[in-house]
Structure 1
């Protein structure tokens, strides 16, 4: 074996969604904040994302998180999220995976029955409440950065579909949120491919026709993701609903999506469907669940906003070393349209 570079990776999933954690091999990343480090990785070291996420070493059905020393004194560790086609400012499922890996591998000391810690994401500081027993993280509840609504009931013209009405909300990413039944979907597993095709069309159209500029950091991406929703229902006085989030380049998030849950909480509050402190359970297409609530109300720029908290559980699946032989013909991987909905050696 003669690898020219090696990354130490801990495999992890939350609610079925893979969020692997890179714990070694990246080295120093310049930047005074985690967002600056994210920009550096995106602009100068995107080979890491491509190597780990694209075939033949990776897959579009996963994300990876690079663990880095924090830049803020209150944070135990920092992390940068990498998805198939973007570097989100925040991801709830990935945050739960990172916290679980840090605690269960001993990179951050675990305190039982509860470990309180703060992590530094590109979106800012994220406070976490981790319930632990016998060395296992049983639950991670994170308090997200504020979520708010850009647009309610906005009309968008979608090629091949016509005019649709949707909401746009920020929950760490900018979501185009649309009622599934209005497009003929029930949100069941065998609709996954059709949801992806339609969801990508909606995302593209919404991004072209609607502005979504974050008032505190205009460098955060605009609309990059679609969330299909089912109506709210009540179970024992708890609000419950199913959703399906389409992640670029066109695949279903297996977990209920923490940032999507945050964005939906913002929309629900704007529509007077939920009050601070009321519990909301979000279900994924495969029936995994996140519990959430609105911790408090605030403002972000000119927008009314909510401070959401979301909880879930993650499981470590494997530990590996991923490397590249200097003669490998695919150092940056490749994509094929049978799964990636586009083709090309690099992106």
Structure 2
């Protein structure tokens, strides 16, 4: 039975990319202008009134929960070249390092920002606010993106919680775009290799559930941002140069879902913890290495005091690869496609209009 009386099948234009193995599906066409006078307000509209776009592109038959969606929208701040809204299986994060790296690459590849050889700078508008971008282009290829990480801080340092079937677990909590539990992988018996992926997801889920049941967290300006969603497993830190460190890492984001990359916000969280523990200085860099041997480089650029918190300023560097250009056909007659919450945001152009 048809879910919609629309006599045509809308299309959504996509550029699939990945950074560190995490696939970001960039939406570059087919969506109507969204209500809201800021990118944050437009994100809230999607979250509260039009969540169908996220569901369509992340779940079968068009996607999988391990992906992310980045909707490019016009910037509302004149300082920005474009805006973007991040959609993931757990909802609508206000910022993400890997998604920012992929979106910055996509706006260059799509010509939204003219691509120039060498180093170029521009600004994007995330729901979290303005994000400065440095892009490195060589022979027409975007070889690297450096983006600002959100100011990050440690909320809780080395607390202990009892987790059923695991035992007592020591954890810290950072805010770096979302609240992260940070745990030592070695203390839990993990080496952070690919064959451990399923066990890491199961272990992280139990720890996150236990923390959520025991307490909540509040950001110093944002207030209550919901239950702690993420857990970052930390491997041993190796110093490979005077100002350069390396550590295996992996991030849990949803039941059964371990990120392919180490995540930009997870890397920012690590910098905040290393700063608190006196193990890193301004100008130092940390490369986090994933289960799939991909990496992001976080740079500790400075600190400032925000109330009781010493906030770490940082950047994240990585490379995004373009995987595919495609048009998804939205067929509301398909019983596997749920069009509720989707139709209000679809462009009214017909497929045969190009």
Q: Scaled by the length of structure 1, what TM-score is found?
A: 0.92
- Residue 32 of structure 1 is matched in structure 2 by 37
- Residue 74 of structure 2 is matched in structure 1 by 69
- Structure 2 residue aligned with 1:205, among 192, 210, 222? 210
Q: How does 1:107-186 map to 2 (within 5 A)?
A: 107-186=112-191
What per-residue deviation string (whole Å, max 9, x for no partner) do you get for residues 258-309 of structure 1?
0000011001100111111012111111111111211121133431110110
Matched positions, count: 332
What per-residue deviation string (whole Å, max 9, x for no partner) do you get for residues 52-85 of structure 1?
0011111012111011111112111111111112
**Cα gap change, 1:234 to 1:325, in 2 (>3 Å):** same
Task: Using the TM superposition, give the Cα deviation of residue 252 of structure 1 relative to its aligned residue in structure 2, in angstroms.
Answer: 1.5
Q: 2-side partners of 1:217 and 1:106: how far apart?
A: 34
Q: Is the 8 A contact 1:146 1:300 kept in 2?
A: no
- Residue 276 of structure 2 is matched in structure 1 by 270
Q: 2-side partners of 1:164 and 1:33: how far apart?
A: 41
Q: 1-side partners of 2:124 and 2:226: how far apart?
A: 21
Q: 1-side partners of 2:154 and 2:338: how far apart?
A: 37
Task: Using the TM superposition, give the Cα deviation of residue 167 of structure 1 relative to its aligned residue in structure 2, in angstroms.
Answer: 0.6
- Structure 1 residue aligned with 2:320, among 291, 299, 314? 314
* RMSD between aligned residues: 1.5
Q: Which ranges in structure 1 are unaligned for 5 or more consecutive residues?
A: 334-347
Q: 1-side partners of 2:142 and 2:246: how far apart?
A: 24
Q: Scaled by the length of structure 2, what TM-score is found?
A: 0.90
- Structure 1 residue aligned with 2:251, among 241, 245, 253? 245
Q: Secondary structure at the match of 1:8?
A: strand
Q: 2-side partners of 1:157 and 1:5: how far apart?
A: 51
Task: Using the TM superposition, give the Cα deviation of residue 160 of structure 1 relative to its aligned residue in structure 2, in angstroms.
Answer: 2.1
Q: 2-side partners of 1:53 and 1:36: how far apart?
A: 22
Q: 2-side partners of 1:219 and 1:18: how far apart?
A: 29
Task: Using the TM superposition, give the Cα deviation of residue 3 of structure 1 relative to its aligned residue in structure 2, in angstroms.
Answer: 5.3
Q: Is the 8 A contact 2:148 2:315 kept in 1?
A: yes
Q: Is the 8 A contact 1:3 1:326 kept in 2?
A: no
Task: Using the TM superposition, give the Cα deviation of residue 186 of structure 1 relative to its aligned residue in structure 2, in angstroms.
Answer: 0.7
- Structure 1 residue aligned with 2:304, among 283, 298, 306? 298
Q: 2-side partners of 1:330 and 1:191: how far apart?
A: 32
Q: Secondary structure at the match of 1:259?
A: helix
Q: Is the 8 A contact 1:145 1:172 kept in 2?
A: yes
- Structure 1 residue aligned with 2:287, among 278, 281, 285? 281
**Cα gap change, 1:71 to 1:299, in 2 (>3 Å):** farther
Of the structure 1 ranges 210-219 and 151-160, higher mean CA displacement relative to structure 2 is found in 210-219
Bigger RCO of structures 1 and 2 (CA < 8 A, at least 6 apart): 2
- Structure 2 residue aligned with 1:84, among 89, 109, 124? 89
Q: Which ranges in structure 2 are unaligned for 5 or more consecutive residues?
A: 1-6, 340-354
Higher gyration radius (CA): 2
**Cα gap change, 1:75 to 1:256, in 2 (>3 Å):** same
Task: Using the TM superposition, give the Cα deviation of residue 219 of structure 1 relative to its aligned residue in structure 2, in angstroms.
Answer: 5.2
